Amino acid sequence: MTRLILAVSFLIAGFIGNPAIAGAQGQTAPSPAVHGGAQAGPPGGTLVRTPLTLKQAEAIALKNNPQITIGKLHALQAQQFVREVRSALLPNAYLSLTGVASQENSRIAAGGLNNPIIFQRAAGGATVSQLVTDFGRTTNLLSSSRYESKAEDENAVATTADILLAVDQAFYNALETKALLKVSQQTVDARQALVDKVQALTNAKLKSDLDLSFAKVEVARAQLLQLESKDNYETSLATLSAILGYPTEQNFQLIETPPGTAPPAPDVNPLIQQALQQRPEVLALQNQVLSAEKFSSAEHDLWRPTISALGAVGGTPVRDSHLSSWYGAVGVNVNIPVFNGFLYNARSKSADLQAEVQRQKLMDMKNNIARDVRNAWQDSNQAYKRLTVTQQLREEANLAMDLAQARYNLGLSSIVEFTQAELQKTEADIEDTDARYQYGLTRIVLAYTIATPR
């Protein structure tokens, strides 16, 4: 919307009497920048400018943007969840120190069916327990956590791709507003030169006061346009700075790399297949589906028996005469679920439903990605065709302006006719410049949607 407002403003301001501005549309203006990340000062200051290319901007974003760090931390956290689940397959060992003073011949009489006797003692020992098998439940839980970890890795990749896309879009938007700021600055200079020229002709009674009034109005409009262009450029720099991870606006000196003009792929179907195979969002959801299926199997395995082994050994240096100086025992325990108020039934059913939810999410994601690829491909084709049209428009506008200038110089037309020709040329220049930037942006978006390796 800002670009369209600026274009209309250019049509109002015009470039009367200065054909040298015709080639300025594709140029970019140097902008004040900061050195070492300090906040930039006003234009025209003495701060050292820091050049910034697109590749450098992407590298800074990958290093500084908090979302990148958050994605990596989530991936590391998921890896620790895998270790937590795997611990159930490993032995558990712990040491115990116990000291007891009791009433003679006393027993624990409440709180349980058995009533063991309590002997005075001081003892120490070790206990080791090991899960023998739960018939696949823990193994399925471990597989589920591993798939979740892989999904988090893909989510981190997707976050990186999102940040790089945002950097590329912000960088190109800043370049475009920078070019428009350059044009607005030259517009003010051209309008002021025209005022000086018409003022001299008016003083010599060769031009009317009406021509002078027209010229002064155009200077005022060009100055307003310059203020608006400067504000838009600073806004685009603030957006770019935030994406790069800076808390304050950085007035970088953007270095433009000419965008390529290669035509897009002739067929969209291979691009859709590539996206479905390579997009990290799809890969993440596929892993989440597998994780949910494994977790569902683990919940069904709750009904299976659990077999575990236990061993204990130790000594009792302070003991009752009924106790031995050391103790040791090993055993095997088998737990078989029988009834728990339909808890396991509810948990397994809930896990089945969650697995189906993940499958439906994956299907919806694939449909959306296919749509996005098709739309991005169509936008890229349209932008590519627009390059030819805007180039032809610019050539025709240049020819019309040359003819109008010749008529004005010969006194065969008024300043209004010449102004209209200049405005049409300005519009054509802006459209041609915009077409080049927009085609570059559509190529970036298409490359993002199909997950083209960088």
Neighbouring residues of 66: CB distance < 8 A, sequence distance ≥ 6:
245
DSSP H or E stretch at residue 337: none
**Cβ proximity of 57 and 241 under 8 Å:** no
pLDDT confidence of residue 12: 36
Asked if the model's pLDDT at residue 95 lies above 80, the reply is yes
pLDDT digits 0-9 by tens, 253-279: 899 887 667 888 999 999 999 999 999
Q: What is the DSSP letter of 123?
A: E
Our CA dihedral for 7, 11, 14, 19, rounded to 10 degrees, sits at 70
Q: What is the DSSP string of 174-219?
A: HHHHHHHHHHHHHHHHHHHHHHHHHHHHHHTTSS-HHHHHHHHHHH
φ/ψ (deg, to 5) at 261? -120, 25
Per cent of the chain over pLDDT 90 is 50
Give residue limits of the domains in the chain: 2-449
pLDDT confidence of residue 195: 77
pLDDT digits 0-9 by tens, 206-243: 777 887 887 788 778 778 888 988 998 889 989 998 88
What is the pairing mode between strands 306-318 and 121-133?
antiparallel
Asked if the model's pLDDT at residue 349 lies above 70, the reply is yes
- Average pLDDT in the 85-108 region? 91
pLDDT digits 0-9 by tens, 29-56: 333 333 334 444 444 444 566 899 999 9
Top-confidence residue, 115 or 395 = 395
pLDDT confidence of residue 259: 66
Q: What are the structure tokens assigned to 451, written together?
A: 């997950």
308: nearest Cα among 343, 332, 281:
332
Asked if the model's pLDDT at residue 25 lies above 50, the reply is no
Instruction: Tell me the pLDDT of the chain averaged across its residues.
Output: 84
- Average pLDDT in the 65-93 region? 94
pLDDT confidence of residue 262: 84
pLDDT confidence of residue 273: 96
What is the pairing mode between strands 326-335 and 253-254?
unpaired
User: pLDDT band for position 3 (50/70/90)?
Assistant: very low
φ/ψ (deg, to 5) at 279? -60, 125
Asked if the model's pLDDT at residue 282 lies above 70, the reply is yes
pLDDT digits 0-9 by tens, 313-338: 999 999 888 888 999 999 999 999 99
pLDDT confidence of residue 247: 85
pTM, two decimal places: 0.77
pLDDT confidence of residue 23: 38
**Homologous superfamily in CATH for domain 2-449:** Outer membrane efflux proteins (OEP) (1.20.1600.10)
Most confident of 17-26, 249-258, 323-332, 397-406: 323-332
In Å, the largest CA–CA distance within the chain is 133
Q: What is the DSSP letter of 320?
A: -
Asked if the model's pLDDT at residue 394 lies above 90, the reply is no
- Average pLDDT in the 181-186 region? 77
pLDDT confidence of residue 48: 63
pLDDT digits 0-9 by tens, 294-313: 999 999 999 999 999 999 99
Q: What are the structure tokens assigned to 106, written together?
A: 């006393």
Query: What is the spatial distance between Cα 249 and Cα 236, in angstroms, rounded to a whole number?
Result: 10
Tell me the three state secondary structure of residue 311: strand
